[in-house]
Structure 1
């Protein structure tokens, strides 16, 4: 499906840090019901993309490194799953035996329309609006 568990977990990690506090991965993992291994893996991806920041040491942990008013669900999902497509045939370079420019597949065209609308909806609201309402 489109929204993978990894994407869901990334959104949960950002939500756990949305209060502006620094928190440890074990604490976030427990609060958000994410295994430690997955939480660490996803936190590294979020840190690499600049959305969260890590602090080393005994009092270390993670905190937000972004303004939630400027970030959308689309931003977080595409960090974890850059291809985020409804169906495989929408991938660039996919060799579909049915769909072509001369003879378009109506199913492909409908999924493309749905994908476009979904992307627009995921970009519509900031995480601040979603988390703080």
Structure 2
């Protein structure tokens, strides 16, 4: 499971939108140091996953469709890359290249499957509200 820069930036986009009624793409980009083309690409995927809502027109922009208390890192990562696998053979559409004769793949495949399941469990354990709240607390302590 490769957590890409796009996945990282998607979390930043959500961080920028949290607690805001609506933000323009320029505001999001400025706050999170993301280029506009990249932000648009991410926002489109987050919209498709029903995590953000887009508004058209002069007063357009974006807002969260879900509360950060309902969103996990796994939700964000899967919105950006629905086929996130730690190795290609984890994808049910692909065969294990080492031993196609075994029904469930080779022994290594089985172990990696267990690891991937645990990683997904860990990414879905805490909401972004919990994660971002801890980040804000650390900033206050450092800034005091």
Q: CA deviation at 1:58?
A: 2.5
Native 8 Å contact 2:7 2:77 kept in 1: yes
Q: CA deviation at 1:59?
A: 2.5
SS in 1 for 2:68: coil
Structure 1: runs of 5 or more not aligned = none
SS in 1 for 2:62: strand
CA displacement 1:80-121 (0-9 Å, x = unmatched): 111110001111132324235368523222211210110000
Change (3 A) 1:88 1:58: same
Q: CA deviation at 1:122?
A: 0.5
CA displacement 1:21-78 (0-9 Å, x = unmatched): 3111111112212111010111111122221112222232111111221211111111
Normalising to structure 2: TM-score of the pair? Answer: 0.82
Change (3 A) 1:65 1:103: closer
| Mapped partners of 1:65, 1:85: distance in 2 | 27
Change (3 A) 1:103 1:65: closer
SS in 2 for 1:124: coil
Change (3 A) 1:111 1:26: same
| Mapped partners of 1:89, 1:104: distance in 2 | 8
- The alignment of Structure 1 onto Structure 2 pairs a total of residues equal to 133
| Mapped partners of 1:54, 1:109: distance in 2 | 41
Task: Give the aligned CA root-mean-square deviation in angstroms.
Answer: 1.8
Structure 2: runs of 5 or more not aligned = 135-144
Is 2:118 the partner of 1:117? yes
Change (3 A) 1:101 1:69: same
- When structure 1 is superposed on structure 2, of 7-16 and 98-107 the one drifting more is 98-107
